Amino acid sequence: MISRCRIVIKGTVQGVGFRPFVYRLAGMYNINGSVLNSSRGVIIEAEGEEGMVQAFINMIKENPPALSEINSFQVSELPPAGFTCFEILKSSHDQTSEALIPPDVGTCPACAGEILDPKDRHYRYPFTNCTNCGPRFTIIEKIPYDRLKTSMKTFSMCSYCGAEYNNPLDRRFHAQPVACPACGPGVRTTDNKGEQAAEDKNWLEFAWSALGKGKVFALKSLGGFHLTCDAHNADAVKSLRIRKGRQAKPFAVMCKDMDTVRKYYHVNNDENKLLLSPQAPIVILKKREHFGLPEELAPKLNTMGVMLPYTPLHLLIFSGPFDILVMTSGNYSELPLVIKNENAIDELSAIADYFLFHNREIVNRCDDSLIQILDGEVSFFRRSRGYTPQPILIMRKKNSPVVVGIGGEMKNSFCILKQNQAFMSQYIGEIDTIEGEKNLFDSFANFQRLIGAKPEIVAYDAHPDYASSYMARKVPAENYVEVQHHHAHLASCMAENNLDNEDIIGVILDGTGYGIDGNIWGFEVFKGSYTGFERMFHLAYVPLPGGEIAIRQPWRTAYSYLATFLGNRGKEHAGEIFADRDINIVEQLIASSFNSPLSCGCGRLFDAVSAMLGVCHENTYEGQAAIELGEIALKASESILKASYSYTVTGDTILPGEMLEGIIEDKFAGVPAEAISVKFHNTLVNIICDAAVRISARTGIKKVVLSGGTWHNEYLFKTTVKALRRERFQVCFHRQVPTNDGGIALGQAMIAHWRLKDVKGRK
């Protein structure tokens, strides 16, 4: 019996070798018909012996190409049409675009082998790629994904590349960015005035020799420029810090291979897998005891970001005399990554000695993703290259309106909800500069086009002065929704854990967020859902003397904590600990409540304790004092791990006075900072657990979500999860979007969806 089926497959199925895979299977099962990429996904017509057609369908379902991700698979039976062969049809263009754009993929082993093989025509060619690897999101201008709609459109394939591209059995069949030395993009080196530095054919030897002399290169990578220098060379690393205006924030490094990573860092199985994954993110690793590399790479810290080469250009550089290079983003601190050749010299010539350019345009800026493995779980600091624009599946009906969450002011990433998918943008970063604002604006326009969605509802942070809120209101839409910062955190965590609109307990710990009482919130225990929240407990407020300055200078916050909760005795202690600081100014600011906003941010409490213990007096990068305090807790001896301080709860307010007293007492008794840090962390765990237990006793709720940047803290995260589970709570945390402000856009959008879903009469 001859049967015919039409199969429509949606998800990440383009640019991942799906059609050649289907073509080969059709040959194996004697199937006639066609396969085609449309903007709705891959559409297959399959006609053949009934059993064969079924086997063909099962094979596609069960063994799809490694890089694909199937979200929906529909089969409909049709009357036989009498197809006589199986062919790959040209892409169709229709209005609705449901096909997903694949993220960029790190170089595959086959391509890596070819560029190092003198006999291969791709030998030493830095833009080698195939269906299994290469640029995608970063080069796509429009959908559907086709070479002519990417920045490869200016390069026409040579006959060799064309033959591979057109051969259904080749690894490069319909790989849109295929290229070789004869037909593709090329590399150029210049000095920092734009003068050619070496002959094009000698670029690699030139790069090796300059890096060997301690020079800094600006290197055009996949999603933007990197700044690179020899990680063994302390002087080079130091001068890169000074030139980039980056005092202490750790630099990421790129290692030649896994053996090199293991030589300098501890790597567990999860970290190993992540480093070698096609997404090739930066993974945060612990330095080995005998690290042997300059302290300047990550001053005072035990951890830093490490990645493996993910483009042929990186691989070629590592085929020379280096095993580890600094590979940090090509920008001045907090500005967007440079992506255009024409801007690079202007913007980076004061940092880099030389430039390594190429002429394949970067269409979509995309920073490296940054991930930490926390207690065996993936925790994103930055979800970007390799993951964007892969959607996160959420609980929502397909006919729901398109909702935009514009995100926060720092670590910005916006989000578009379309059907049951949440598309998180790449990392946008800080947007409180003109450049940052433009970055958000341009990226949003591009992203919206690629997703093919017209916003109906736009959600944004309730902070009255945020640039993001202002921009959100400029996006044309039917409805606008203001969302409280920590409520957005809560909803974001609920959404990625596929929770329905039910009341849960949310423990939201972060640095700063605008509260509905006009104060700065950040240590919040909520009872809430997508549609609303109740603030059940929060840390007591303290004034931040000088506002922003207090965030940069944690000793000011420490003074404020001691003065607020321990009165004159606290002031005396503070006078002793911060004898070299200008305490009078801070005292006056607090007394006159001038420029001293009230805050209960958890980050500020960490700042205060960190400064009290002399761990960190200055935040030269966001969260520094808290990170350093968190790291030393991991070094404390076993004997102290159960100890903690006491505290009081009055009404809904958590009072840290007794804890501060205990910390001061321990400090003056000579207890090591590591031990005090552990006791401080344990106290927070107790506070959180007690609060959850109390709420649960009143309401019967047994689900807790954890969100906010503080949850990057390894000791706090592990210990809290364990303690809550001991109390039989189901604990939800972030695995797919960052727990920091990089994830709030998802929560904003979900809250707006739920608030307005009945307004429009749909669900």
**What residues make contact with Zn ion under the rule CB under 5 A?**
108, 111, 130, 132-133, 158, 161, 180, 182-183
Select the binding partner of residue 741 from Zn ion, Fe ion, none (C-beta < 5 to 8 A, by kind): Fe ion
Q: Which is nearer to Fe ion, 312 or 408 (CB)?
A: 408
Residue 118 CB partners (closer than 8 Å, separation 6+): none
The sign one gets for the Cα dihedral 312, 313, 318, 321 is positive
687: which residues sit within 8 A by CB, 6+ positions away?
647, 649, 654
Per-residue binding letters, 266-285, with Fe ion (x by CB under 5 A): --------------------
Residue 9 contacts which entry, Zn ion, Fe ion, none (Cβ below 5-8 A, type-dependent): none
Alpha-carbon separation of residue 543 from 547, 596, 609 (angstroms): 8, 5, 15
CB distance 625 to 611 below 8 Å: yes
- Segment 611 to 630, residues that bind Fe ion, using CB under 5 A: none
CB of 172 to Zn ion, least distance (A): 8
Strand arrangement, sheet containing 86-88: 69-78, 2-12, 41-49, 32-38, 86-88
Nearer to Fe ion, 311 or 748 (CB): 748
Helix (H, G, I), strand (E, B) or coil at 140: strand
Nearest to 268 by CA among 382, 375, 387: 375
- Residue 63 or 156: the one with the smaller Cβ distance to Zn ion is 156
Q: What is the 3-state secondary structure (H, E, C) of 442-484?
A: HHHHHHHHHHCCCCCEEEEECCCCCHHHHHHCCCCCCEEEEEC
Nearer to Fe ion, 513 or 656 (CB): 513
3-class SS shares of the chain: helix, strand, coil, % to 5: 35, 20, 40
**Smallest gap from residue 490 Cβ to Zn ion (A):** 42
> What is the spatial distance between Cα 756 and Cα 42, in angstroms, rounded to a whole number?
33
Q: Write down the least CB distance from residue 282 to Zn ion, Å.
A: 21
User: In the structure encoding, which two tokens stand for residue 724, read together?
Assistant: 């809550």
Which one of Fe ion, Zn ion, none is in contact with 28 (Cβ closer than 5 to 8 A by kind)? none
Least distance between Fe ion and beta carbon 524 (Å):
10
* Cβ proximity to Fe ion, 327 vs 706, nearer residue: 706
| DSSP-derived secondary structure for 674-712 | HHHHHHHHHHHHHHHHHHHHHHHHHH---EEEEESGGGG
The closest residue (CB) to Fe ion is: 510
The CB-of-350 to Fe ion minimum distance in angstroms stands at 33
Q: How far is CA 446 from CA 138, 363, 443, 639, in A?
A: 11, 9, 5, 55
Place of tokens 């398109």: 402
Interaction residues for Fe ion, span 487-546 (CB under 5 A): 510, 513
Choose the binding region for Fe ion from 220-228, 270-278, 491-499, 739-747 (rule: CB under 5 A). 739-747
Asked if residue 741 binds Fe ion (CB under 5 A), the reply is yes
The least distance separating Fe ion from the CB of residue 528, rounded to whole angstroms, comes to 15
Q: Nearest-CA neighbor of 173 among 99, 104, 88, 110?
A: 88
The residue among 15 and 33 lying less far from Zn ion, judged by its C-beta, is 15
Nearer to Zn ion, 173 or 717 (CB): 173
Return the range that interacts with Fe ion (CB under 5 A); candidates 38-46, 189-197, 424-432, 740-748: 740-748
Minimum distance from residue 537 beta carbon to Fe ion (Å): 18
**In the complex, minimum distance from the CB of residue 19 to Fe ion, in angstroms, rounded to a whole number:** 43
- Residue 741 beta carbon to Fe ion: minimum distance, rounded to whole angstroms: 4
By C-beta, is 161 or 504 nearer to Zn ion? 161
Say how many CA atoms lie within 13 Å of 37 toward its Cβ: 23
Query: 44 contacts which partner out of Zn ion, Fe ion, none, CB within 5 to 8 A by kind?
Result: none
Nearer to Zn ion, 155 or 251 (CB): 155
Which residues sit at the interface with Fe ion, rule CB under 5 A? 510, 513, 741
